[in-house]
């Protein structure tokens, strides 16, 4: 067993968009599991938009990261030593293990994976936090009805790409907004979205939305915020629901962003905008995972993983994800 | 019976804040009721914030007023001629009769009032649209739980003054935001609000809210929007509800107002912002009116009416209401 545990820590709080120099790859000894603990060797590490918020020194739903602290993250790894009766050496597990090659854990919040059911990497994507976010956010917060029109921003991302497909499964019309023509072609050609447009080349979002949503928008699943969201608000139907999942367009702003005031739309349209965190659905994760797996097996839910190799490349993969360079779920494979 | 019907029409679409010259007092013949119709002589006319929206040439939940059209408005009047078996001469009725001394009506949407139950003017306030707005907006959209903290903007207005009292009846803590020290004294001294502050003299809304809501804000009943709302969003508790009733701070803006983007607060706080229109609760008006009347009779719900005399003064009363010069419900008494 190697003695060195490579870790990626927060080196500096980013000003605006994170740079690779805001992170530092450090080496620590591989920890020794104590009584009741397991030692996990990482296989896949997740990079997710929410991590950007934790890099700021701001109170939020999770505490801010401290300078020098290992970046927190969901990850999948193999149990290589166990002093916990629940886990055997060789078990593949998912947990909040961080951007590092090894970690010890008491097993709390650690999920054992069955590699015969699905590739273990999916525990960080379609059969993990992003999948559950799409499932509960769209169905529980969005409350779709058959025949409704659903618009998804960040539609080619880990969550958005699933939301549009769950919208189709629910009998809705699904319209995606994404950042390249290739992504849009993937959404409509592979995933079954009814239509999609590239916000980087569209000159008038409002006109594009009117063209693609001639009957207006009933559900807006928002991963992005900003000018895209401003345009969608103007197209909402009476009784519309805005599922506020993410606002990635603002996460790297150096000062609070301003934009047109939107709340009056909610009155005129009797609409509801609701934020949610997937963690609040923890008691129903089993239900969500079961349904997502059934849809995958039935060929109704497709997913894509984009994989970068090497723990050292985790910051670059994270920054690329924030720039929208990924299609589907961005992962780091740890050698 | 006089032959002249004084009416107030829309003379010009206001640019920004309405001026008296945007209205015109005209004289028309008193109309003759046809078969199935009644002739109503106005006693009280309502001026309400929503009317400002109808003066713009913008599609909304009601059609825009046309230049030269009589201003639409709820009003209370006496039936002075009837060719409709449902109504007798002498009946006092409430309906959407407009800013005029007389109107004919086929009786649709016209409610007969019982002057022995309450002063008939209350049919335009606490026992009318504003009362029902407070009742359904706070209880149905806000879903209060005992012990929660409720903040109300426009707290001394026709709706806000009732919301804070219904919050107290519901076991909540009620904090009002209003535009004068006298209004704040009325809210806390007469109506039982726990506290209130004057936004015109407060230098830091956020600091004031932190002081008056040490446990954060669970329900925000928003009549106003703008900078007050920005500050309240920063104080929301997890699971908060924002009842978006009005955005009067913006109704007179000449171009779309901008402000800090707010949707990300909804994620972090798992909060819900929901707009509503009281008309959507029409099937439950009887329930609302019954409950409001019971609270009034039990001394639990107080109201104030501010009355201006003379149909000619309706534009001035309306403009004053938009400026926040009224305490409680602003009415015009028609001679």
Give the distance from residue B3's alpha carbon to the nearest chain A alpha carbon, in angstroms: 40
Are B229 and A263 inside 8 Å of each other by CB? Answer: yes
pLDDT in tens, chain B (335 residues): 568 999 999 999 999 999 999 999 999 999 999 999 999 999 999 999 999 999 998 877 778 899 999 999 999 999 999 999 999 999 999 999 999 999 999 999 999 999 998 999 999 999 999 999 999 999 999 999 999 999 999 999 999 999 999 999 999 999 999 999 999 999 999 999 999 999 999 999 999 999 999 999 999 999 999 999 999 999 999 999 999 999 999 888 888 899 999 999 999 999 999 999 999 999 999 999 999 999 999 999 999 999 999 999 999 999 999 999 999 999 999 97
Tens of pLDDT, residues B289-305: 999 999 999 999 999 99
Name the token pair of A143. Answer: 């409350």
Residue from A53, A232, A268 whose CB has the most chain B CBs within 10 Å, to mutate:
A268
Closest partner residue to B247 among A267, A272, A280, by Cβ?
A267
Residue B151 has a CB neighbour count (10 Å cut-off) of 32
d(CA B129, CA B50): 11
Q: Shortest CA distance to B263 belongs to which of A235, A216, A266?
A: A266
Q: How far apart are CA A70 and CA A23, in angstroms?
A: 9
All residues of chain A having their beta carbon less than 8 Å from the beta carbon of residue B154 are: none
Which residues of chain B make contact with A256, given a CB cutoff of 8 A?
A: 260-261
Q: Judge: B247–A264 Cβ closer than 8 Å, yes or no.
A: yes
In chain B, residues with a C-beta closer than 8 Å to the C-beta of A259 are 258-259, 261
Distance CA A73, CA A270 (A): 38
Nearest CA in chain B to A53: B268
The shortest CB-CB distance from A247 to any of B226, B263, B270 is to: B263
Measured between beta carbons, the chain B residues lying within 8 angstroms of A245 are: 267
Chain A residues whose CB is inside 8 A of the B48 CB are none
C-alpha B306/C-alpha A83 separation (Å) is 76
Chain A: give the shortest CA distance to residue B266, in Å: 5
- Among A244, A259, A266, beta carbon nearest to B275: A266
Cα of B216 to nearest chain A Cα, Å: 14
Q: Is the dihedral of CA B81, B84, B88, B92 positive or negative?
A: negative
- Each residue's pLDDT, cut to its tens digit, for chain A (335 residues) gives 568 999 999 999 999 999 999 999 999 999 999 999 999 999 999 999 999 999 998 877 778 899 999 999 999 999 999 999 999 999 999 999 999 999 999 999 999 999 998 999 999 999 999 999 999 999 999 999 999 999 999 999 999 999 999 999 999 999 999 999 999 999 999 999 999 999 999 999 999 999 999 999 999 999 999 999 999 999 999 999 999 999 999 888 888 899 999 999 999 999 999 999 999 999 999 999 999 999 999 999 999 999 999 999 999 999 999 999 999 999 999 97
Which chain B residue shows the shortest CA-CA distance from A278? Answer: B270
The closest CB to that of B275, out of A271, A274, A280, belongs to A271
Which tokens in the block code for residue A118?
């699905």
Asked if A244 and B225 come within 8 Å (Cβ–Cβ), the reply is: no
- d(Cα B221, Cα B275) in Å, to the nearest integer? 10
In DSSP notation, A66-79 reads PTTPBPP--EEEEE
Considering CB atoms only, which of A256, A270, A280 is closest to B276? A270
Q: Do B275 and A274 touch (CB under 8 A)?
A: no
Query: DSSP letters along B33-91, please?
Result: P-TT-EEEEEEEEE--THHHHHTSS---SSPPPPTTPBPP--EEEEEEEE-STT--TT-
- The residue of chain A nearest to residue B276, with distances taken between CA atoms, is A270
* Euclidean distance between the first and the last CA atom of chain A, given in angstroms as a whole number: 14
> Can you read off the two tokens belonging to residue B257?
């107002």
Tell me how far CA of residue B261 lies from CA of A75, A224, A252, in angstroms: 32, 12, 14
- Asked if B246's CB is within 8 angstroms of A267's CB, the reply is yes
For A289, the enclosing helix (H) or strand (E) is helix A285-297
Chain A residues whose CB is inside 8 A of the B260 CB are 256-258
CA dist B60 and B50 (Å) reads 11
Cβ pair A275:B260 closer than 8 A:
no
Closest residue of chain B to A260, computed from CA coordinates: B258
Which CATH code is given to the segment(s) A4-125+304-333?
Answer: 3.90.180.10
Instruction: List the alpha helices (DSSP H) in chain B.
Output: 50-54, 129-136, 160-169, 181-189, 205-212, 226-233, 263-268, 285-297, 314-322
Token pair belonging to B182:
């006298």
Query: In angstroms, rounded to a whole number, what is the distance separating the alpha carbons of residues B87 and B33?
Result: 13
Question: Nearest CA to CA, how far is A249 from chain B (Å)?
Answer: 11
Which CATH number is B4-125+303-333's, of 3.40.250.10, 2.60.130.10, 3.90.180.10, 3.40.50.300?
Answer: 3.90.180.10
Q: How far apart are CA B160 and CA A33, in angstroms?
A: 60
Reported as type and span, the H/E element at residue B178 is strand B173-178
Answer whether A225 sits within 8 Å of B274, measured CB to CB. Answer: no
Backbone angles phi, psi at A51, to 5 degrees: -65, -25
Going from the C-alpha of A309 to that of each of A18, A22, A268, B178, B246, the distances in angstroms are 20, 20, 50, 59, 53
The ipTM assigned to this model is 0.94
**CA–CA dist B277, A267 (Å, integer):** 7
The pTM assigned to this predicted structure is: 0.95
Residue B226, min C-alpha distance to chain A (Å): 8
The CATH superfamily assigned to A129-279 is: NAD(P)-binding Rossmann-like Domain (3.40.50.720)
For residue B221 the two structure tokens come to 């009943």
Helix (H) or strand (E) holding A217: strand A217-222
Instruction: Choose among A60, A256, A272: nearest Cβ to B274.
Output: A272
Please report, for chain B, the start and end positions of each structural domain, with discontinuous segments joined by +.
Answer: 4-125+303-333, 129-279
Mutation for A interface: B258, B273, B280, most A CBs within 10 A: B273
Q: Do A275 and B261 touch (CB under 8 A)?
A: no
Rounded Cα gap, residues A205 and A71, in angstroms: 36
Contact, B24 vs B49, CB < 8 A? no
B271:A275 CB<8 A: yes
Residues of A in contact with B242 (CB under 8 A): 263
């Amino acid at each position: 067993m190697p003695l060195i545990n490579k870790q990626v820590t927060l080196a500096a709080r980013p000003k605006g968009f994170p740079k690779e120099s805001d992170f530092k790859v450090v080496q620590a000894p591989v920890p020794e599991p104590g009584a009741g603990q397991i030692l996990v060797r990482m296989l896949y590490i997740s990079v997710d938009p929410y991590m950007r918020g934790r890099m700021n020194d701001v109170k939020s739903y999770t505490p801010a990261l401290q300078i020098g602290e290992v970046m927190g993250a969901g990850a999948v790894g193999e149990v290589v030593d166990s002093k916990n009766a629940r886990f055997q050496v060789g078990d593949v597990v998912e947990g909040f293990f961080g951007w590092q090659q090894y970690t010890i854990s008491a097993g709390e919040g650690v999920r054992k994976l069955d590699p015969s059911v699905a590739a273990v990497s999916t525990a960080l994507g379609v059969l993990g936090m992003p999948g559950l976010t799409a499932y509960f956010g769209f169905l529980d917060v969005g409350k779709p009805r058959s025949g409704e029109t659903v618009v998804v921003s960040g539609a080619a991302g880990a969550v958005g790409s699933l939301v549009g497909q769950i919208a189709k499964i629910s009998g809705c019309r699904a319209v995606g907004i994404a950042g390249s023509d290739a992504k849009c072609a993937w959404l409509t050609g592979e995933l079954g979205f009814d239509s999609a447009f590239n916000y980087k080349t569209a000159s008038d979002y409002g006109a594009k939305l009117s063209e693609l949503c001639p009957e207006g928008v009933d559900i807006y699943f928002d991963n992005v915020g900003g000018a895209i969201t401003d345009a969608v608000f103007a197209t909402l139907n009476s009784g519309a629901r805005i599922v506020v999942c993410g606002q990635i367009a603002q996460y790297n702003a150096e000062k609070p962003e301003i934009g047109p005031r939107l709340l009056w739309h909610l009155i005129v349209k009797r609409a509801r905008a609701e934020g949610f965190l997937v963690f609040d659905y923890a008691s129903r994760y089993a239900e969500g995972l079961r349904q997502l797996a059934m849809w995958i097996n039935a060929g109704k839910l497709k997913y894509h993983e984009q994989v970068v190799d090497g723990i050292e490349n985790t910051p670059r993969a994270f920054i690329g994800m924030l720039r929208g360079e990924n299609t589907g779920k961005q992962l780091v494979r740890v050698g």
